[in-house]
Structure 1
């Protein structure tokens, strides 16, 4: 389990509040996810907003299987919420730094689903941009406060899960904005859709590399981003709308964002002193 190192000897009243808030945040997120999945007779996310959030809603939407990554992220967040609630984690300095940022990301995650169900497409854009910013804050905090002695569980449930969440939402933000623009842009813009999509993916490559560089070449964000980009390529080759240029660019960008952190991570396994 988590290491007990970097733990203050004195718990504060705010520590218990933090633990309860994290558990409440994950509960809210899961309830929103169940409703968003179409339970209780509700419309599933991909069918909401007039189908704008479906895989065919824009040129930058990934294929359906890409969204299975949410299962991994949700399971990781559930496990984190349970582990951080353990009594020995109450006064942990690491948890004091990470609990609030992660709680914010879980609340915004759930709010996005609420916005998709009851709000407007533009509101989903606003919420997902806020979620991306919160995840950037959380992941940066995780990197800065990382304890090499914290153990595998600490690394996976904090750095790993937050990194996957950040990487996936980076691409999801692009897809969400693209879906919104598709509904408001003049039909004539579709003639330039492939070119615009390629330019946007180049920007995604820059962002992906920037995240990797600023995090010391952590691999989790790159894995999620490459996963989404790969399924984006599949959708543009086999689904609608079709776009071979976007598909090829997505594959290239996936390799660009994944290879550097993967190589560095491999070197760290061979030579643990590499950082």
Structure 2
């Protein structure tokens, strides 16, 4: 389906580590040749000790914008519920400038109830959270069109999630990148549904890069996922050690395909 260049990402999960360890992990990722470094937008660890060390997403992205040179950076993904859309647009525009145009705005509807409860946000229902995302996306773009100075580029929007009726529709309408989860069959089915939504809104499916989380060796799943349309492959790593063994395998696989 796609002739897009293969790209490799890493999600440096900001949990169970001191910030100095996180900063070193990001530097190692850039040195290893990844294309994009993500964090995530939560307030507590998602695995391991639930009250373990954890750091905030967007403050960190501002620091990464200064401490890196060429990798793209972003959240996988920002929770729409935690910030007013106009504020988030301004934050993204600012990090875009700090990084000289390397920010990707990853965004989703939110799901981790503890974040909401302990930080005073209304958890609502999946429907209300999705409705909030649908309202926020055009507001973010509208703010970018009026803010001074403008973003350095048309900031790519990555939407994460696989909801077939709403999330994939919003992706067709607003996103540059879709990030999916699940096995090959799940990715293939949902990618086809995204194509249908693109047709419904008058958009070429090839305009949306297909991204997938991977936790297996590239020789086991890489070629099949490429055949299904994936071109951005992201490995998640957790603190404190940030083991890059699998990530380096994916980088080498990408480079072999280039050759």
State the TM-score, normalized to the length of structure 1. 0.30
Structure with more strand by fraction: 2
* Structure number, greater radius of gyration: 1
Structure with more helix by fraction: 1
